Structure 1
Amino acid sequence: MPEKKTEPWTMASMDELLALARAMEQEAIDGYVSLAARMRAENRPDLAAVFERLIAEEREHIGKVDQWLGSRAPEPITLAKPLFDDEGAGVVAPELLTSYRAFSIAVRNEERAFVFWTYAAAHAPSEEIRQAAERMAREELSHVATLRRERRMAFHEMRRADSDSRKGDLPAFEERLSKLLSRVPAPAFGERAERLRGFANEALERASALRVVPPAETLLLQHVPKNVTGRIVPLCEFLLDCYLDLAERGRTDSVRARMQTLASEVIRCLYAAREQ
């Protein structure tokens, strides 16, 4: 099986793009299969069932790629560096794992795939490949939305008494995110800090736009967890949930597109923040 030697997001042809898309989905399936087997061996059928659901989800994704392939059968390829990350779930004590954490792993892997395809689109050598990569990015954003709903359900099943029912305000949360991003010390993180400051400006722009044209209501803002505004990552997570929920509930294409655009921007910020 040939190994991809170029930058992972640089596609030389449509065949390479489709082969890589399939390889990424298969990589996720293999990871979840391993985790499911371990959970069964550790007598955790509850978590094995969660990973089995994730396997089924990824197999559905492969089915979509195969439909796109049609009669084409490109040679399988592998990345020099795997994109799937089980975040230690394969070695951590099973008592420390929860369904919430399992879905969190899946969410982050789908977000990573989304960022991958946005880079692929930006570096596409042709219009055909750019459009295909953008389509893959849209598919991954849909997967992110589905898995984040599953994760919210898992969270509510195990939620503790560390949340209150105060109402939230999206523009205020975006302004808070901008402040947190601006406080990242430049000497400590250099170029990464500059990138986060760029995201800080984007957050202010979102806040301003949301005040001019307020979005619809989302129930997520009726029950805001404590300390969600204390750090960049949890605040990004919460904002992303809100935008994806609003996109799902949007009554017009323009509303859904607007919320998906905001969600895309927050995912990129979230991805960068996690690299700190």
Structure 2
Amino acid sequence: MSADAKPVSWTLVNGEPAGSLPVSDRGLAYGDGLFETLRAVAGGLPLLQRHLKRLQRGCEALAIPFASAQIEAELRDAAVRLGEGVIKLTLTRGSGPRGYAAPSEPQPTRILSAAPAPVTDPARREGIALFACRTRLSEQPLLAGLKHLNRLDQVLARSEWQSPEFAEGLVCDQQGRPVECTMSNLLIWLDEGWVTPSLEHCGVRGVMRDYLLDTLTARGVPVVEQSIDMDMLFSAQEVCCCNSLIGVWPVIRLGEQRWSVGPQTRFLQTLAEQVYQ
């Protein structure tokens, strides 16, 4: 590695290089924690404040101490060190005795890992096919919207297909209503406005989703968060999915249903790309 080359990947646990956790860590034992996945660009983290706000909301909901200044400093340092790529921060409640009862004075564990940006097919910018997942999302309003460590719903849903024909999978709630995709949020253009599924009972409140909704609202573009059904999805004129790593992918197929990539989706792509310029 040359003197100017940046390291490819590494992991820190509580600020120190490490590759393991105590078996007593509650994140391992119970999924008792949260995580954020951030895109680093030119040594910076363009959506950092949105990630931190979501992490803080999660910590408040789970009653996990949140060392905001320390976490932000570590993330910024990691971005400078990485340059370009992906940084994942996992925050667990820390170690504790056997049993579900949380320790009265938890000492959270911070796990920060950095890696190169994943290589994705540029053709996905022109449209993807969705797989219709059979796995339904678990419903727990107290956890709805949070990016907590219990991701088995997504693991099961993603395991339903292996074909590269599908770039993402649609997942529904217990009533069969579309909520999101396995790793991204869903938006549909319907009757001259954007609609995105409500996350009142389940699903993840993505930072790219929130950025797009806030930006659209500020520009006077109609945006509605509400429960949708399959009929509404199939009636949409445009459909897309988004997250902070991929930006915006148009959806052009789900089963026999087809959509075109329209001007509203192209505009969302532009807004997402502007974040990282």
TM-score normalized by the length of structure 1: 0.23
Higher strand share: 2
Higher helix share: 1
TM-score normalized by the length of structure 2: 0.23
